[in-house]
Chains A and B, each alone.
Chain A
Amino acid sequence: MSAGLLLVQTLDGVQLGLLLFLIAAGLTLVFGVMDVVNLAHGVQYMLGAYAAVACAGWTGSFWAALPLAAAASLALGAVLQRLVFRRLVGAGHLDQVLATFGLILLAEEGVRMVFGPAPLSLAMPPALAGTVPLFGGLRYPVYRLAVVAAALAVAALLWLAIEHTRTGMRLRAGASNAPILAALGVDVGRLFALVLAAGAMLAGFAGAIAAPIVAIEPGMGGSVLILAFVVVVLGGPGSARGAFLAALLVGLTDTLGRGLLDAALRVALDPSAARMAGPALASMLIYLLMAAVLAFRPAGLLPARGRR
């Protein structure tokens, strides 16, 4: 494997990791603060992508569609909080799983009825459509670099909000020990509503900026949801910092692992055995990583304080 290829795959890993972070950030806080398992979080990602397509069709501009899609996701998160999630706080995990799984079915079938079952696509803005040359004759799409930049900016804002605002402080306190926070007179219900809506917005934004790259279809939330849960568990539930680290780790393991594993197996095994073992092992890599980390740090990489 050449150095250029390694660089391309590292960039891809970072980009996938940052997208995963945007999705997992809301999930980890909702899980950490309120102990609510939200399977419907992938739906927010999917709806964000569809909202971007609808808004882009309506306004004719990708740049107008991005904030509109984020706003729509925020509104939807708030509505779902009032209708569904408010009632799930304190309920058993099984009830939460059932209710949010029902939301997935509802949302996916609803989208299928409105937009049709065929995959859709969103054209990328012409200004970001080109590629930039890397060394070794390889080229890298500009849009993906823009995704990295946008996700990093959002992550920085999130860090500021969590580490340097009063609400962020309450959030961190809630992740450590919610009952004590409530006993101190903080309205945990409102905090939860805020986290849920903001988390929905982040996932929707991730869906919107991923829309020009991926196929937009009703089931697109399912595959990222599993990865997002891996990120949450790996980073430590309730810990945004942990989610950031874990997301990058998962992104890099997934993309670099696929490439490196193939090269490594080719050296160790004969070609046909390598062909058989490669894809099987590559799809397991993330879970092997999770198992290994949990064996040594059962609470995750950077657990919320007091949860160790």
Chain B
Amino acid sequence: MKRWLTAAILAVAALSGPAWAADPAQPAAPVKIGLLVTLSGPGAVLGQQVRNGFMLALQQRDGKLGGRTADVVVADDELKPDVGVSRARRLVEGDKVAFVVGPIFSNILGAIFRPVTQGGAILISPNAGSSVYAGKQCSADFFVTSYENTQIHAVLGAYAQSKGYKRAFLMAPNYQAGKDAVAGFRSRFKGEVVAEDYVPLTTIDFQSELARIADLKPDVIFTFMPGGLGVALVKQFHQSGLAATIPFLSAFTADESTLPAEQDAAIGLYGGMTWAPNMDNPANKRFVADYLAAYHAVPGSYAMQGYDAAQLIDSALSKVGAEDGDRTKLRAALHAADFASPRGPFRFNTNGYPIQDFYVTKVAKRPDGLYETEIAEKVASQEADGFAQECPLH
């Protein structure tokens, strides 16, 4: 009976065969890509943006990258390093993917870096860019489409310095990334730091900090408050009436992932980034318009970086064609980064991290009622990270 069934299915398949084998000019095998991002828990907003950006680039190319059908396996790291490792292993060893695009958070990057690169796949990070893999531990199989983590904070420090602010109030959550943010800002800001305030990650009320700010009257505030922390801080900062008098510089606190919740309270707040949705170039106009049409939301930097990860794979596969088995050629083709990024000029340094422009952005309301960050000022041109010279690759 079973054999009968199989034979029947085969016969039907053979009859309908010409329908899918109609194009004999394209025998190229599909390319397998694993998308490993955070899709549950509080970090899911960022993972969804990366996934949306990546899928948008794919849609624009009719589901193909470098002319080959892209077979994308989406996995969720749940923001747990052990889950990330097991999902990464399954992608590399089970699904035999050629590329892993991910993760969002640096602690997951630390966990999946070796399993992916030593498992024979190329790792492309659409967000996490820890300094660890920019220096001595860099890898020829690792590319970053975002930035090295401390750069955004350093850019804001440089901006505060250039504006001549004398007294700064620094505030961050009490964990490693928060301390790195403050250190990054201080590396470029030479004025007086009136307070360095570390709040618990579970803070729900910033009123005590805001009262201190009102009391100390600093020239500028710098903060790094990702996700819900940022929403609470921005709303309360606005409600306190301080927004009118003290400039607010922040990293990942008022961006497209939190603006839908912060709304008018965030207007006029400054941030640091490599790009903003209102940048005036054809590649960006197409990206933002298509993203809005597909997802009914303004893309954030995370979406742009996911989009560029797909563009990077597309450009490299177009170059190497069927010879993607040649590792050296594939690496060289990826390193060339021959695609039009929405952020404008973009190239890779020897360590696989980008060399790009950095801007200070400002939150504004769009004519259609949505909110976005807009370019306020260019702070650095074609800047490389400070760890590349320690990387033995060249």
* Residues of A bordering B, CB below 8 Å: 1-2, 4-5, 8-9, 12, 15-16, 109, 112, 116-121, 123-124, 129, 131, 137-139, 141, 143-144, 212-220, 222-224, 255, 258-259, 262, 275, 278-280, 282-283
Beta-carbon contact of B200 and A279 below 8 Å: yes
CB distance from A145 to the nearest CB of B (A): 12
* Bound: A134/B273 CA distance, A: 38
Q: List 22 A-B contacts (CB under 8 A).
A: A2-B215, A12-B211, A112-B44, A116-B45, A118-B260, A119-B227, A119-B228, A119-B261, A120-B261, A121-B231, A121-B263, A124-B239, A137-B214, A138-B214, A214-B235, A215-B231, A216-B261, A220-B204, A255-B208, A259-B208, A279-B174, A279-B200
Q: What CA separation (Å) do A144 and B197 show in the bound complex?
A: 23
The interface residues of chain A lying within 8 Å CB-to-CB of B183 are none
Q: Which residue of A lies closest to B45 (CB)?
A: A118
Q: Tell me, rounded to whole Å, the shortest Cβ–Cβ distance linking A231 to chain B.
A: 15
Which residues from chain A contact B44 at a C-beta distance below 8 Å?
A: 112, 117
A215 and B261 contact, CB distance less than 8 A = yes
Give the CA-CA distance A4 to B229 in the complex, in Å.
Answer: 26
In the assembled complex, the CB of B80 is this many whole angstroms from the nearest CB of chain A, namely 15
Q: Which of B212, B215, B232, B265 has the most CB of A within 10 A?
A: B215
- Let me know if A141 and B240 touch, CB within 8 A: yes
Give B47 Cβ to nearest chain A Cβ, in Å: 9
Contact, CB under 8 Å: A12 / B40? no
Distance between Cα atoms of A214 and B233 in the complex (Å): 8
Chain B interface, DSSP helix/strand/loop, else mixed: helix
In the complex, given contacts A9-B208, A117-B41, A121-B265, what are 10 additional A-B residue pairs having Cβ atoms less than 8 angstroms apart? A5-B214, A5-B215, A8-B211, A12-B208, A112-B44, A119-B227, A215-B235, A219-B41, A220-B204, A259-B208
Partner of A217, one of B196, B197, B200, B228: B228
The answer to whether B211 touches A5 (Cβ under 8 A) is: yes
The answer to whether B240 and A131 have CB atoms under 8 Å apart is: yes
Query: What distance in Å separates the Cβ of A222 from its nearest Cβ neighbour in chain B?
Result: 8
Instruction: Give the Cβ gap from A181 to chain B, nearest Cβ, in Å.
Output: 37
- Which residues in A have their C-beta under 8 angstroms from that of B40? 109, 112, 117
Instruction: Determine if B45 and A275 form an interchain contact, defined as CB atoms under 8 angstroms apart.
Output: no
Interface residues on B, range: 35 or more
**Closest A residue to B217 using CB positions:** A137
Chain B, 228-257, CB within 8 A of any chain A CB: 228-232, 235-236, 239-241, 257
A-B contact count (CB 8 A): 120
Q: Name A214's contact: one of B45, B204, B258 (CB within 8 Å).
A: B204
Which residues of A sit under 8 angstroms from B48, Cβ to Cβ?
A: 117
| A contact residues around B211 at 8 Å (CB) | 5, 8-9, 12, 138, 259
At the interface, yes or no: B355 with Cβ under 8 Å from chain A? no
How far is B240's CA from A138's CA once the two chains are assembled, in angstroms?
A: 9
Smallest Cβ-Cβ distance to A141: which chain B residue: B239
Asked, given contacts A117-B41, A259-B211, whether A223 binds B204 with beta carbons under 8 Å apart, the answer is: yes
> What are the residues of chain A within 8 A of B212 when measuring CB–CB?
5, 259, 262
In the bound complex, what is the Cα–Cα distance between A121 and B231 (angstroms)?
Answer: 8
Complex-state Cα separation, A279 to B261, whole angstroms? 28
Contact yes or no, B215 A1, CB < 8 A: yes
